[in-house]
Amino acid sequence: MAYTLLFLFFLLLQSLDLAAMAATLRPNFYSETCPQAESIVKDVMKKAMIREPRSIASVMRLQFHDCFVNGCDASLLLDDTPNMLGEKLALSNIDSLRSYEVVDEVKEALEKACPGVVSCADLLVMAARDAVVLSGGPYWEVKLGRLDSLTASQEDSNQIMPSPRSNATYLIDLFSRFNLSVQDLVALSGSHSIGKGRCFSIVFRLYNQSGSGLPDPAIEPAFREKLDKLCPLGGDGNVTGDLDATPEIFDNQYFKDLVNGRGFLNSDQTLFTYPLTREYVIEFSENQEKFFQAFAEGMIKMGDLQSGRPGETRRDCRVVNRHRPGVEVLFETSNEKE
């Protein structure tokens, strides 16, 4: 009996697949265990795009909000539990992050083909790449092999994720804490080439920039008139506007817009106002290939962020696998058997 228990305990440890060290990420990580993984993700993303073009931008954004908070570990995707305030309701995420159901759909398809193999953290990284490709942006090879976290932290997300009010100095400093360069910051902000933002995120710059009682002077007047109509003072903060002039196409229009004072968010326009970031904005506005290359580089670097904490491969991206309190479950089972 003692041996049986020991053996079962060993099996349990194996099945948990808990790894305390940072995983070594590499391309083709699933080439043996789930060779269809990448094509499955792409197919579901393509269907999502046809159903609602914005949804793939929304899914792409998830990689940023996941990777900056304790590494790319799908902590973002965990629903709140009675014991854990997750990241979905954090300041930058509540009423803002969306299309979690697309992630669920991708995960379901992956689980059907290769049960328990592909992590939710890798799913997000593949899906973000596919969102860019499907919108006309660059392709890059993704490194895989991440584990999913066992927990999430609303507090960490609140501490880390930048506000749309951020200025370039603050963003440069924030990104440098993740070893991301000024070029990475500007290129990755180019993700705002697709998708939408809420009036809630821009009313301060339309009517009371830095507490001045005046609009942000960096906004081009005709564009400001348009935004004022979309987002009147005291209006519905959930109304959305396009982040650039071509919100379904991943291109360098975003940077052309910044040069013309037509950035949607303060955190966007500030990249043109501030000299250090401005040179990259101008370069990317004139050379789409340079933007694409820098963007892919930045996404790969951001995808490398890891916490080094224990992890697992979640079966359902919204909840951790049911193995805690695992030992009790194990002993119950073994007692029944003997």
Ligand X SMILES: *[C@@H]1O[C@H](CO)[C@@H](O)[C@H](O)[C@H]1NC(C)=O
Write out the two tokens for 271: 């990249």
217 vs 237, which CB is nearer to ligand X? Answer: 237
Among 52, 95, 101, 225, binds ligand X (CB under 6 A): 95
Asked if 61 touches ligand HEM (CB under 6 A), the answer is yes
Asked if 275 touches ligand X (CB under 6 A), the answer is no
Selecting among 42, 54, 61, 65, the annotated active-site residue is 65
3-state secondary structure the chain: CHHHHHHHHHHHHHHHCCCCCCCCCECCCCCCCCCCHHHHHHHHHHHHHHHCCHHHHHHHHHHHHHHCCCCCCCHHHCCCECCECCCCCCCCCCCCCCCHHHHHHHHHHHHHHCCCCCCHHHHHHHHHHHHHHHCCCCCCCCCECCCECCCCCHHHHHHHCCCCCCCHHHHHHHHHCCCCCHHHHHHHHHHHHCCEEEHHHCHHHHHCHHHCCCCCCCCCHHHHHHHHHHCCCCCCCCCEEECCCCCCCCCCHHHHHHHCCCCCCHHHHHHHHCHHHHHHHHHHHHCHHHHHHHHHHHHHHHHCCCCCCCCECCCECCECCCCCCHHHHHHHHHHHHC
134 vs 172, which CB is nearer to ligand X? Answer: 172
Cα distance between residue 287 and residue 290, in whole Å: 6
Among 29, 64, 255, 284, binds ligand HEM (CB under 6 A): 64
- Region near ligand X per CB under 6 A, out of 116-124, 143-151, 165-173, 259-267: 165-173
Tell me the number of residues near ligand HEM by CB under 6 A: 25
Binding to ligand HEM (CB under 6 A): which residues in 222-281?
Answer: 243, 265, 267
Binding mask 194-213 for ligand X (x = CB under 6 A): ------x-------x--x-x
30 vs 68, which CB is nearer to ligand X? Answer: 68
Binding to ligand HEM (CB under 6 A): which residues in 143-202?
Answer: 162, 164, 166, 171, 188-189, 191-192, 194-198, 201
Q: Is 65 a known active-site residue? A: yes
Asked if 135 touches ligand HEM (CB under 6 A), the answer is no
> Which does residue 273 bind out of ligand HEM, ligand X, none, counting CB within 5 to 8 angstroms by kind?
none
Asked if 279 touches ligand X (CB under 6 A), the answer is no
> Which does residue 171 bind out of ligand HEM, ligand X, none, counting CB within 5 to 8 angstroms by kind?
ligand HEM
> Which does residue 192 bind out of ligand HEM, ligand X, none, counting CB within 5 to 8 angstroms by kind?
ligand HEM
Residue positions annotated with a catalytic role = 65
| Binding-site ranges for ligand HEM (CB under 6 A) | 54, 57-58, 60-61, 64, 96, 98, 162, 164, 166, 171, 188-189, 191-192, 194-198, 201, 243, 265, 267
